[in-house]
Amino acid sequence: MHGQICIFRTRNSRNSYMAPPILSLVLPSETGRILSIQSHTVQGYVGNKSAVFPLQLLGYDVDPINSVQFSNHTGYPTFTGQVLNGQQLWDIIEGLEANDLLYYTHLLTGYIGSVSFLNTVLEVVNKLRSVNPKLTYVCDPVLGDEGKLYVPQELISVYREKVVPVASMLTPNQFEAELLTGFSIQSEDDGRKACNFLHEAGPSKVVITSINIDGNLLLIGSHQKEKGQSPQQFKILIPKIPAYFTGTGDLTTALLLGWSNKYPDNLEKAAELAVSSLQALLQRTMDDYTHAGHDPQSTSLEIRLIQSQDDIRNPQIKFKAEIYS
Q: Which residues are catalytic?
A: 250
Measured in degrees and rounded to the nearest 5, phi and psi for residue 256 equal -65, -40
Query: What CA–CA distance (Å, rounded) separates 148 from 151?
Result: 9
Burial status of residue 134 (CB atoms within 10 A of its CB: 0-12, 13-18, 19 or more):
exposed
Provide DSSP, 265-307.
Answer: T-HHHHHHHHHHHHHHHHHHHHHHHHHTT--TTSSEEE---GG
Q: Which helix (H) or strand (E) holds 206?
A: strand 205-213
Q: Are 278 and 255 in contact (CB under 8 A)?
A: yes
Q: Give the whole-angstrom CA distance, residue 205 versus residue 260.
A: 9
Distance CA 24, CA 161 (A): 34
Backbone angles phi, psi at 18, to 5 degrees: -120, 80
Dist CA 25 CA 146 (whole Å): 42
If DSSP codes are grouped into helix, strand and coil, which group holds residue 218? Answer: strand
